[in-house]
Amino acid sequence: MKRSLLATVLALTMSGQATAEGTWGLGLGMISAKSPYLGEADDFLLLPLISYESEDFRFTGVSFNYDLYETDSIQLSTFLRPGFDFFDADDADTPAMRTLNDRKFSALLGLEIKADLDFATAVLSAGHDITGNARGWQLELALQRRYQLSPQLFISPELGVTFADSDTVDYYYGVDSGESSQFAPYQADSALNPYASVTLMYQIDKRWQAFTSLKWSEYDNTITDSPIVDADRDLQWVAAVSYEF
């Protein structure tokens, strides 16, 4: 799910110290991730990063957030961000996978609410695909906490779960009748994927930051049972450096 991961990388460049005039960020990031699809090689990407943050608006290259309502303990915002990643059959690493139809990317438009629970921040989001590809919706619930280990070093663990409806999961991991001569038809159901992540941020100076993040996700049985999937879980690694101005 490289596009979702890309949004995560770019979000890491946000300092959380937005001003009315806005803060820009430029940087460079590295991504390592494995495709869940059968026979697909691991991906390693090196890419430029760009971000912008004001009091109510955040842009992270491939995702947007706009705050609608905020109190001391609750924040409600709307978002546009990547959903599941695409699969290009022409670029598949095995002949069997090249017999499949493409799975195009999805973009989620929805609402997100954050609540300060004192011991952690709870985040609940709901989004629907607006591209007309997956035509489904996703829910995500997470608990986040940020700890300061030193004046310059911070660690942010997160536990969460993502729910995707049957339309979304079947579009990406199902096999239609007559689609391929190499795979039997398979209809996927809705999926519940738990995950855990940890992010380290080092504030080099007032404008420079360095980040690294590790995220583990466990796939639902309806995904792992698909004949075009050969992974039970996903491990993603991200590293980035950014400059704010």
Q: Cβ contacts of residue 174 below 8 Å, gap of 6+? A: 186, 187, 188, 226
Q: Residue 40 has what pLDDT?
A: 85
Q: Is 222 exposed, middle or buried (0-12, 13-18, 19+ CB in 10 A)?
A: buried
Judged against a pLDDT cut of 80, whether residue 131 lies above it is answered with yes
Pick the closest to residue 131 from 185, 70, 172, 190 (CA basis).
Answer: 172
Least confident of 39-53, 172-186, 189-203: 39-53
Q: How many CA atoms lie within 13 A of 97 on its CB side?
A: 23
Q: Is the pLDDT of residue 13 over 70?
A: no
6 pLDDT more than 70 = no
Q: What percent of the chain has pLDDT over 70?
A: 91
User: Contact 130/119 with Cβ under 8 angstroms?
Assistant: no
Q: Which domains does the chain have, with CATH numbers?
A: 2-244 (2.40.160.40)
Output the pLDDT for position 3: 52
**DSSP 8-state code for residue 134:** S
For residues 170 and 228, what is the distance between their CA atoms, to the nearest angstrom? Answer: 12
The answer, yes or no, to whether residue 15 has pLDDT greater than 80, is: no
Residue 10's pLDDT is 58
Q: How confident is the model at residue 83 (pLDDT cuts 50, 70, 90)?
A: confident
Q: Tokens for 39, please give them.
A: 């026979």
pLDDT at 48: 87
Strand 121-129 to strand 137-144: parallel, antiparallel, or no bridges (unpaired)?
A: antiparallel
102 pLDDT exceeds 80?
Answer: yes
User: 80-84, 120-124, 170-174, 181-185: lowest mean pLDDT where?
Assistant: 80-84
> What is the Cα–Cα distance from 40 to 156, expressed in whole angstroms?
31
Q: Out of 1-5, 43-47, 94-98, 200-204, pick the least confident.
A: 1-5
pLDDT score of 18:
52
**Residues 86/46, Cβ–Cβ less than 8 Å:** no
Question: What percent helix, strand, coil does the chain show, rounded to 5?
Answer: 10, 50, 35
Contacts by residues 180-186 (CB-CB < 8 Å, ≥ 24 positions apart)? 180/96, 180/99, 180/100, 181/99, 182/95, 182/96, 182/99, 183/96, 183/99, 183/100, 183/227, 183/228, 184/227, 186/225, 186/226, 186/227, 186/228
∠ at Cα 173 (169, 177), nearest 5°?
Answer: 110
Task: Average the pLDDT over each of 36-40, 75-79, 105-109 and give the range with the smallest value.
Answer: 36-40
The pLDDT score that the predictor gives to residue 84 is 79
Under DSSP, the state recorded for 7 is: H
142 C-beta neighbours (distance < 10 Å), count: 19
As a whole number, mean pLDDT of residues 183-189 equals: 97
Tell me the pLDDT tens digit for each residue of 17-74.
Answer: 555 568 898 988 888 888 899 988 888 888 888 889 998 999 887 889 999 999 999 9
Question: pLDDT value at position 19?
Answer: 52
pLDDT of residue 208: 94
Please state, in angstroms and as integers, the Cα–Cα distance from residue 27 to each residue in 30, 31, 224, 241, following that order: 11, 13, 36, 5
